[in-house]
Structure 1
């Protein structure tokens, strides 16, 4: 089981109040076993938007596409657009995994986002 050294509440507070990247990493690991993994999206968005944390931008992308892991073709255009937006932001901030995906699949803001998501995961 993926248990953190700190309790979930203190991790969330450290993220919300201080943008604590160590707490964020601990929380991301804790959420691997969490029954409601999609709750992690909130903390990823806060760390990305408020604290400009590259890993969080990638995690937002990941959360959106994981919600459709059963059939990526079911992702709606608005969700796909948000996912691509955060993937590109992660790439622009030097996130290596985002860089690999963006460059391999020629991801950009000018193409249909749903088609780009489907291309990545086909």
Structure 2
């Protein structure tokens, strides 16, 4: 049973990586600058890919989100989450997929993809990322995508002081 879960997880990660590369290639020529114009986007992308720099990731993330290029952030969040285990990247990956799923008239993701989203959210929460903990707590309270557990939901939300 464990091997089946691992295979499903690996297939989902590979699928999401392919999707991210597809969107990356589609938007490769997008010209975006950072809010404070300190570093060009192309330099930030290179730094994130070559050095896995969290500061460069945050600048890149902010620039792309401000310009509504969510697919670009999805690629870099997956990269940073898997390589550096950066807690913000885990949350970003979850949130951007949730946003993409929610923005469609029809739900576009299957159960395995939603499980992968929740897995990344749980990893962010385990690293004490407050947004991840709050979002996961809400999901447990609602019983959405996870078994309903109001005690755990309240515990997660209260642990961040809300």
Query: What band does the TM-score fall into relative to the shorter chain?
Result: 0.7 to 0.9
Bigger radius of gyration: 2
Instruction: Specify the alignment match of 1:33 in structure 2.
Output: 66
In the alignment, structure 2 segments of 5+ residues that lack a partner are 1-32, 149-162
Q: For the Cα contact (< 8 Å) 2:34–2:40, is it kept in 1?
A: no
Q: Is the 8 A contact 2:65 2:73 kept in 1?
A: no
CA contact (8 A) 2:34 2:41 kept: no
TM-score normalised according to structure 1 size: 0.78
**Cα separation, 1, equivalents of 2:42 and 2:113:** 28
How many residue pairs get matched? 112
C-alpha distance in 2 between matches for 1:72 and 1:62:
18
The more displaced of 54-63 and 31-40 is 31-40
Instruction: Supply the distance in 2 between the matched residues of 1:9 and 1:23 (Cα, whole angstroms).
Output: 11
Cα deviation 1:45-90 (Å, max 9, x = unaligned): 1110001100000000011111122358613212211110100010
Tell me the SS of whatever aligns to 1:5. Answer: coil
Q: State the alpha-carbon separation in 2 of the partners of residues 61 and 103 from structure 1.
A: 14
Of 31, 39, 51, the residue aligned with 2:84 is 51
Q: Which has the higher contact order (CA 8 A, sep 6+)?
A: 1
Distance 1:100 1:36 in 2: 25
TM-score, structure 2 as length reference: 0.60
Structure 1 residue 23 displacement after superposition: 0.6
| Structure 1: 5+ residue stretches without partners | none
Of residues 145, 148, 154, the one that matches 1:116 is: 145
Residue 138 of structure 2 is aligned to residue 104 of structure 1: yes
